[in-house]
Structure formats: structure tokens, C-alpha cells
Chains A and B, each alone.
Chain A
Amino acid sequence: MEMRDKLRKWREDNHRNSEQIVDVGEELINEHASKLGDDIWIIYEQVMIAALDCSRDDLAWTCLQELKRQFPGSQRVKRLAGMRLEALEKYEDASKQYDSILQDDPTNTAARKRKISILKAQGKSAEAIRELNEYLEQFVGDQEAWHELSELYINEHDYGKAAFCLEELMMTNPHNHLYCEQYAEVKYTQGGLENLELSRKYFAQALKLNNRNMRALFGLYMSASHIAASPKVNATVKKANVKYATWATNQINRAYQLAGRGTKENKCSVKAVEEMLESITMS
């Protein structure tokens, strides 16, 4: 069934398109439940989480009841009940729910991560960071957690530590262009010649891994231009960076020319980019 396949694809890709999931899922559950077989349980879980995301507590409650009935005493269902409490902003109760899971099963990573999410939702960033660091000491391979930590550090303007998290991620995911590019952005933000050079290298690396990453392309252009313009660099370095910046400019122009073909829509943005690049190469 088409709807079933859609839900499965969204599950596998971990999409957070909650409104769509609720639309499709609700219809599937209400009209075709009998035809779903054992799939229905995982669908209930998926739809429940999406329903919480859309403030559809009625639907979330229904799904939760079905799951409770089918899997009494399940830790996984307990966690879902906790998530519902979080959605209702009953953070104390949610925390107690997760604590009870952890009492029975201290290695339950899902419950630990939900507790950290609660801290985040309450704006307690320092505590969330501390807890997440402790978590990572135990579960050092949890990519999602490293990424979450890097985001928390970025929001706290602690760029050095954010960079450290991204370095971990790049080590374990050397082909992921997004981590390279984010690392480059953090280095650029830190500023100073050394960081700018690092940022240029990593923007270039991101482009090697994915030559359509526009952020990396613009990043390469900007970092190389700044280095070339710095009074602290010698003529050789300056020349090299002007070369990188020029290459990036050409690539950007090409990309925008291609994008601008046929659509009247983005003429404004195309023109803006052209002028921006022109004005900077002249200075």
C-alpha cells in the first residue's frame, strides 16, 4: 500500500515531516488498521511521535493506549509516555518516568537522552552540556550525541569546544561533507589567520566530497579572500589565495548562471551575487 511505503521511507530516512506523517498515519490507522498486520505497532509509534510534534494530543493518546495494551511493561512504550509528558511540558513527571526506566536499565541511552532534551527545552544549556559530556564519556561512539553537543556549544559561543566535537565527527565520518563544512564555519567564526587558513582547507575538503555544497563554495571564496587581503601574509601565500578565491568566484558564477536559466523568479538573487563578486574582486 502506497501510504504504508511512504511511512516506511520517512521512518528509514528519519524525516521530521510531522504534519505529513500525521495526515497519512491517521488515515491509515482509522481506515486500514486490519490490513497492516504487525506493522501497525511501529506505525503507532511513528504516528504518536509525529502527533506530539503537531500538538495532536488526542491522536498521541490513542496511539499510546494501543501500544500500552499490546506491550505492557515495555521500556520503549514507557519512553513514549515520557515524551508525551514532555510535549505537555510536564517536565518533572517526564523526568520521573525516565528515571524509573533507568532504575531498571541503567544503560538505556534513549531515556538518558530524553532527560538531556528536557534540560534543553527548559533553557538549561549549561546543565544539558554537562550531562551530555558525561553521557559521551560512556557512549563515545554516539554520533547523534556528538552532533547535538556541537550545536549546544555553538549556541553558547564556545567555538573551541564545538570544533572539538566536529573533529570527532569528521574522524568517524570522513566522507561527510556537512561535518567538514560546519567545522570550517566554526573555524572562520573563531577568526585569526591560522583559523582562517584551516577554515579554507576544510571548505575545500567539503567541496571535494560534494562539489555542489554552496556554503562550502562561498566559504572558500570568503576565507581565501580574507587571507589574501591580510597584511600578515607573504606574497606567495597571497598569490595562492587569490587563485583559490578566483576559482571559487568562477564556480559560483557558473552555478548561478545555471540556476538562473529559465526561471524569472530568482533573477534578483542572481544579480545580487554577480554584483557582490564583482565588487570584491575589484578591491
Chain B
Amino acid sequence: MGEVELSCLAYVKMYLHGCLFPRCSVNGLLLSSSPAGGAVCVTDCVPLLHSHLPLAPITQLGLTQVDVWCAQTQQRIVGYYQANACVSDNSPTPCALKIADKIAEQCNNAVLLMIDGGKMSPDYRVPPIVMYERKDTRWTLKDKHTIMLRQWEETREIANQLLDSGDHSLLVDFDSHLDDITRDWTNQKLNAKIAELASPANVCTWMSRVEK
């Protein structure tokens, strides 16, 4: 099928979500601000849950609220991500497939992304992710070469930096929002921090550090 591009912003927040709740399964939605048709560009994500993933009410609530927010901000839900608590098993669970199916009803090249917990490390050479796409009615593994993450090393450095500085705790998922509704699940604050780190000046500093 088609190509999928994953933005730095989406990847970093997904990754930090997994890091913030290392003993839990976590999941979230992948969003795109590009128009439908052609390659899928995942430009952002919304972290959803870190508890009781298979239960319906909060998942439905999250999907509805994100849907509304997307309509307000010209984005679309184009996929779903999950990281399993048990790092030795990164296959999609039944609830992952269910939610992905639902998304695919509205978006025909939706993607299902599993984060491979066993491969998460500060200096891993390839992104620890596995992607699935829908062929007929089944979710099948996507060819690695059709997945693009531009500037992987810079992206990885941004994630590491946020972990080191403790800023990853700024991340708010939908679950945390329900615990305290003054917290923002659209993560504007964290987005700003990530944008700052991704600016050209910062990129040059890392490249020299990485090369050493």
C-alpha cells in the first residue's frame, strides 16, 4: 500500500508516553493535518490511556473528544498506537485491533502502530516501532521501507533530552486528564518544548555530539 510518514512530534510524544508508564500498557491516537489521499502523514498524536485499555467507556469518550477536537483544528484521526506492558510481546491485542478497525471505517489507509518495548533504548539505531496496515479485513505487517521518519537521529536526541531533563512528565494522556481536568491532553506545553528542541540551531549541536 502507501507510504507513511511519521513526524518528530508524533514519535516523541508516543515514545515519552511509553516511558512515563513503564509498567503499564499504553495507547493513543495518531493524527494528521494533511488532506486525505496520497501518503499518510502522521503529524501529531494524542496519548489516551495507561490503564484498563480493553474497557469501553473511557476509550469511547476519548475517541469522541479527539474527533471533536480534530474537527475544530482541521486534523483527522489516521491511526492508533499501543505499547504493551509485557515487553516480550509486541503483537496487537484484540482491543488494539478493535479500535484500529473503527478508525479504518473512517480512514481507509489507517495505520496500527505497535511500539516495541524491548527495543527502546537511548541509542537504538532504528525506531522501535512495528506498523500494520489493513489489507482486505486483516491487519498485516507493513514493509519497513514504506515507513519514513525523517531525521531519525535528531528525533531520538530530542526524546532523550526530554527524558533526561524530566520534561517527559509534562506529557498528559487522557487518563491523567480525567484524574485532573485542568491538565491539557492536547499537550500544547510539551509541543512547544519539542518544537524548540527541533529548531535548526539545536539540531547542529546534537549532530556534533552524536558524531563524537
Q: A residues bordering B, Cβ < 8 Å?
A: 121-123, 151, 154-155, 157, 182, 184-186, 188-189, 191, 199, 214-215, 218-219, 222-223, 255-256, 259, 263, 265-266, 268-269, 271-273, 275-276, 279
Q: Given A214-B178, A276-B64: A269 and B58 within 8 A (CB)?
A: no
Of the listed stretches B1-9, B86-94, B154-162, chain A binds B86-94
Main DSSP-derived SS at the B contact region: helix
Kindly state whether residue B65 has any CB partner on chain A within 8 Å: yes
What are the residues of chain B within 8 A of A279 when measuring CB–CB? 68
Q: Are B72 and A275 in contact (CB under 8 A)?
A: yes
- Rounded to whole angstroms, the CA-CA distance of A157 and B57 in the bound complex is 14
Q: Are A123 and B184 in contact (CB under 8 A)?
A: no
Q: Are B189 and A269 in contact (CB under 8 A)?
A: no
Q: Are A272 and B56 in contact (CB under 8 A)?
A: no
Q: Given A185-B52, A268-B188: A219 and B94 within 8 A (CB)?
A: no
Residues of B46-87 whose CB lies within 8 A of A: 52, 54-58, 60-61, 64-66, 68-69, 71-73, 86
Q: Are A266 and B183 in contact (CB under 8 A)?
A: yes
Q: B residues bordering A, Cβ < 8 Å?
A: 52, 54-58, 60-61, 64-66, 68-69, 71-73, 86, 88-89, 94-95, 177-179, 181-186, 188-189
Q: Which residue of chain B has its CB nearest to the CB of A214?
A: B178
- Rounded to whole angstroms, the CA-CA distance of A214 and B182 in the bound complex is 12
Chain B: minimal CB distance from A242 (Å): 19
What are the residues of chain A within 8 A of B183 when measuring CB–CB? 265-266
Q: Are A155 and B54 in contact (CB under 8 A)?
A: yes
Q: Are B189 and A265 in contact (CB under 8 A)?
A: yes
Q: Given A189-B55, A219-B57: A275 and B68 within 8 A (CB)?
A: yes
What are the residues of chain B within 8 A of A276 when measuring CB–CB? 64-65, 68
| Interchain residue pairs A-B with the least CB separation, the first 6 | A189-B56, A272-B69, A266-B184, A268-B186, A259-B181, A185-B55
- Rounded to whole angstroms, the CA-CA distance of A259 and B183 in the bound complex is 9
What are the residues of chain A within 8 A of B65 when measuring CB–CB? 269, 272-273, 276
Chain B: minimal CB distance from A113 (Å): 16
List 7 interface pairs A-B (beta carbons < 8 Å), by A numbering: A122-B88, A186-B55, A191-B56, A265-B189, A266-B181, A268-B72, A269-B186
Q: Given A182-B52, A215-B178, A266-B183: A123 and B88 within 8 A (CB)?
A: yes
Q: Are A188 and B178 in contact (CB under 8 A)?
A: no
Q: Are A222 and B55 in contact (CB under 8 A)?
A: no
Chain A: minimal CB distance from B118 (Å): 12
> Contact check: which of A154, A223, A273, A275 meets B52 at CB < 8 Å?
A154
Q: Given A157-B94, A188-B57, A259-B182: A265 and B188 within 8 A (CB)?
A: yes
Chain A: minimal CB distance from B88 (Å): 6
Interface-centre pick from A121, A214, A223, A263 (highest chain B CB count, 10 A): A214
